[in-house]
Chains A and B, each alone.
Chain A
Amino acid sequence: MQLVAEARDLVRTYMRGSTEVRAVRDVDLEIHAADYMAVVGPSGSGKSTLLNLLGGIDLPSSGNVSLLGHDTRSLSDRRLTRLRLEKVGFVFQRFHLLPALTATENVELPMAEAGTPGSERRRRAAELLDYVGLGHRVDHRPGQLSGGEMQRVGIARALANRPEIILADEPTGELDQETGGEIADLFRRLNADGTPLVVVTHDPALADAASVVRHMRDGTLEPADGS
């Protein structure tokens, strides 16, 4: 099966004040085209750092990340940014929608950055909002949407440029249990429709929806079940 992202001997350290923090230690990981992987573990275990490294928004201190065949450390900031724009979809815990833009405009944003023509942007944004169940809220601004609705807009935005992988960092962290369950259903549907997903989460419902669950502790990825 096609390899979408791969980490080898991955290490990420950073300084917090005068203390060196080893957030990710010697991690090896493969993500394939049909995977829906949940990375779980206690707070501070390095899950988000690992996700950032896989998505090319952070670079390893040592080791390598291959994202869709590109070594992230060998790419310039410009090329890495372009790779994220075109091939990776990000979903954030705090949604990070632009408050001044409508749901449609927020979804259009990555497409506009990629140079997609306006008419095609609008058509696809409407299609994606419909897909996430927000066809009736297209002209609403984030301030007029519930947390669950905002996260659905965030997911539609992540899908805008037809990414080859979706990376979600605690996507239900700000939502109640019922809404979190709806997002888990949406992710399951997304994966069934062919999009590989890596989700960092504390939410058991979201982890249960994944086909692979990996545990992280103290920056280290525990061996996969059955390995």
Chain B
Amino acid sequence: MMNALSLAWRTLVRRPRRLVLFVAGVTVAAAVLLDMVMLAAGLQRSLSDLLEGTGYQVRVVPKGLLPFESGAALRDSRALARAFEADERVAEALPFWGQTVYVSRPARPESPIASFGYGAPAGTAPAVRIEAGRTVERPGEVLVERKLAERLDIMVGDSLLVGVDPDPAVGALRRRRIARVAGVADFTFAAEGSYNVGLVIDDMWAMAGSESEPAALLLVRVHREADAYDIAREFRERFANVDVYAIPEIIEAAGDRLTYFQQLSLVLGTVSLGVAFLLVTTLLTLSVNERWGEIAALRALGVTRGRMLTQVAWQGLVISLAGTLVGLGVGFVVARYLDRILTDFPGLPSDVSFFVLEGGDVTTVVALLVGTGLLAGLYPAWRAASVNISMVLREEIE
């Protein structure tokens, strides 16, 4: 019973309601801090996971741009892909193209649904998870996103009208073709509230009337033993008219454009630490002031300055630890809620997250708050340790 932690706890619970209020304050600070730590790098971590998940480690994009950053395209993408594939470290290079397409049941061509069409070479299935059927293996086939298939009530083997360039006057598509549904899939980069279809890239080019074989990017998969970073660096030098990125470089480049998240996180995280510091200092200073006579008596009885200092410091530790443990749970729940709100923004892939928790985050938050609790305890602990025993005892009975 007589260890310092137990004594600190029992001293604190002498005023349980006040303790609960202060721990609640530290809880809020801990929750905000956790959320800010998760937010600071969350989007980058999430994008990194998404990009890594496609299995293509290198991206080739028009000079000066990030993938899908504008409508600009790589020209003669098939030839460019072959040039990349000539390198023995490259397993596969796929031109990838995206544009708005319209789909409808052939029986109801007057009400097409706007969708995002992805084009890739026949037989490939980048950035999709096939749920039924297979990917598109020849022109005239279409891969349909599951929620679109449900809306149109179609299944594998059905026909679908796919086209571009709708005529506003009649609602029909000026350039269109009938495609057979080869499969139903979830699209990795599908945005919330949008529909997606996958086509053979030649069909996309044909519908767009483009003869330059454009691509928004090339997806490059390197052999397992090859270093994507080295390959990207070498290809940048070799192909001066395009940009070549390994995934970490894309994430870094994206991170430069997301610095406001990091700044927001830094400011709010620092504020939350400041609030936690003030709460712990205030509570401990109140506690020491109330126990002035008791502290003087303990010192008179032979309790050392060091022991008094430790006891008050333990109290700071107990409050910050209790608040942190509860705050971690609260912060996680709040992060999930905020994430749902933020990922509802139009145009964002629905699999992306703003708040991503990694093991080190919890350690960071606990270390920061425990450190803050200990620092916050220093002033009241010093006051307790340096009490003028005889003066306090004399004033107590005057």
> Which A positions have Cβ atoms within 8 angstroms of B?
14, 48-49, 52, 55, 57-58, 77-78, 81-82, 84-86, 88, 90, 92-94, 96, 98-101, 105, 108-110, 112-114, 118, 121, 157, 161, 169-170, 173
Question: B2 interface residue, CB < 8 Å from A?
Answer: yes
Q: Is the CB of B396 within 8 A of A57?
A: no
A86 near B302 (CB under 8 angstroms)? Answer: yes
| Chain B positions 379 through 398: 1 when the CB is less than 8 Å from some CB of chain A, otherwise 0 | 00000000001110110110
* B1 contacts the other chain (CB 8 A): yes
Docked complex Cα distance between A84 and B393 (Å): 16
B3 to chain A, nearest CB (A): 9
Given A57-B389, A81-B305, residue A100 in contact with residue B14 (CB < 8 A): yes
B115 at interface, CB cutoff 8 A: no
A113–B397 CB distance below 8 A: no
Residues of B near A85 (CB, < 8 A) are: 301-303
Of A55, A98, A108, A118, the residue contacting B300 (CB under 8 A) is A55
Taking CB as reference atom, which chain B residue is nearest A92? B297
Q: Cβ of B390 and Cβ of A109 under 8 Å apart?
A: no
Q: How many residues of B contact A (CB 8 A)?
A: 26
Q: How far is the CA of A58 from the CA of B2 in the complex (A)?
A: 28
Beyond A100-B10, A100-B14, whether A49 also contacts B394 by CB under 8 A is: yes
Given the complex, which residues of A lie within 8 Å of B390, measured CB to CB?
Answer: 49, 52, 57-58
Please give, as numbers and ranges, the residues of chain B lying within 8 Å of A57 by CB-CB distance. 299-300, 389-390, 393
A169 touches B393 (CB 8 A): yes
Q: Least Cβ distance of B97 to chain A in Å? A: 72
A93 touches B397 (CB 8 A): yes
Residue in A94, A113, A118 whose beta carbon sits within 8 Å of that of B396 in the complex: A94
Query: Is B11 located at the chain interface by the 8 A CB criterion?
Result: yes
The answer to whether A58 touches B397 (Cβ under 8 A) is no
Known: A92-B297, A100-B13. A105 touches B1 (CB 8 A): yes
Chain B residues, CB < 8 A from A101? 1, 10
Q: Say whether B147 faces chain A, with CB atoms less than 8 Å apart.
A: no
Q: How far is the CA of A106 from the CA of B249 in the complex (A)?
A: 64
Counting from the closest, the 6 A-B pairs by CB-CB distance are: A85-B302, A96-B297, A58-B390, A100-B10, A112-B2, A52-B390
The answer to whether the Cβ of B307 comes within 8 Å of any Cβ in the partner chain is yes
Q: Which residue of A lies closest to B294 (CB)?
A: A96
Closest to A89 in B: B301
Q: Is the CB of B393 within 8 A of A105?
A: no
| B304 in contact (CB, < 8 A) | yes
Q: Does B117 contact A (CB under 8 A)?
A: no
Whether B112 is near chain A, meaning CB under 8 Å from some CB there, is no
Cβ of B10: which chain A residues have Cβ within 8 Å of it? 100-101
Bound CA span A206–B113, Å: 101
Q: Is the CB–CB distance between A90 and B394 below 8 Å?
A: no
- Smallest CB-CB separation from B396: which chain A residue? A94
Task: List, in ascending order, chain B residues with CB within 8 A of A92's CB.
Answer: 297, 300, 393
Given A81-B304, A99-B14, A112-B2, A173 contacting B397 (CB threshold 8 A): yes
Interfacial chain B residues near A118, Cβ < 8 Å: 2
Query: How distant is the Cα of A169 from the Cα of B396 in the complex, in angstroms?
Result: 12
- Cross-chain contact B299 with A81 (CB below 8 angstroms): yes
Complex contacts, B331 vs chain A, CB 8 Å: none
What is the CB-to-nearest-CB distance from B309 to chain A, in angstroms, rounded to a whole number?
A: 13
Which of the residues A48, A114, A170 comes within 8 Å of B302, measured between beta carbons?
A114
- A155 CB to nearest B CB, Å: 13
Q: Type the 1/0 row for B1-35, where 1 means its CB is closer than 8 Å to any CB of A.
A: 11000010011011000000000000000000000
A203 to chain B, nearest CB (A): 14
Q: How far is the CA of A84 from the CA of B302 in the complex (A)?
A: 5
Q: Are A90 and B2 in contact (CB under 8 A)?
A: no
User: Assuming A57-B390, A108-B2, A114-B302, is B397 touching A90 (CB within 8 A)?
Assistant: no
| B293 contacts A by Cβ under 8 Å | yes
Residues of B within 8 A of A96 (CB): 293-294, 297-298
Give chain B nearest CB distance to A101 CB in angstroms: 7
Cα distance A94–B300 in the bound complex, in angstroms? 14
- Considering residues B1, B7, B301, B303, which has the most beta carbons from chain A within 10 angstroms of its beta carbon? B301
List the B side residues contacting A14 at CB < 8 Å: 391
C-alpha gap A101/B7 in the complex (Å): 9
List which B268-311 residues lie within 8 A (CB) of chain A: 293-294, 297-305, 307
A-B pairs with beta carbons under 8 Å apart, 25 shown: A52-B393, A57-B393, A78-B304, A78-B305, A81-B304, A82-B302, A84-B302, A85-B301, A85-B303, A86-B302, A92-B297, A92-B393, A94-B396, A94-B397, A96-B298, A100-B10, A100-B13, A101-B1, A105-B1, A109-B2, A109-B298, A109-B301, A113-B301, A157-B301, A169-B397
Task: Give CA–CA (A163, B294) in the complex, Å.
Answer: 21
Q: Does B301 lie within 8 Å of A84, measured CB to CB?
A: yes
Given contacts A14-B391, A85-B301, A99-B14, 13 further A-B contacts (CB under 8 A): A52-B389, A52-B394, A57-B299, A57-B300, A81-B299, A82-B304, A85-B302, A92-B297, A93-B397, A96-B294, A100-B7, A105-B1, A109-B303
Report Cα–Cα, A157/B297, bound state, in Å.
12
A94-B397, A173-B397 given as contacts; is B305 within 8 A of A77 (CB)? yes
Nearest CB in chain B: distance from A100 CB, A: 4
* In the bound complex, CA of A2 to CA of B42 (Å): 76
Judge whether A113 and B302 touch: CB under 8 Å. yes
Cα-based distance from A161 to B391 in the complex (angstroms): 25
Of all chain B residues, which has the CB nearest A160?
B301
Binary contact track B359-393/A, C-beta < 8 Å → 1, others 0: 00000000000000000000000000000011101
In the complex, chain B residues whose CB is within 8 Å of the CB of A77: 305
What are the residues of chain A within 8 A of B14 when measuring CB–CB?
99-100
Complex interface: chain A residues within 8 A of B1 (CB):
101, 105, 108
- Bound Cα distance from A99 to B298, whole angstroms: 13
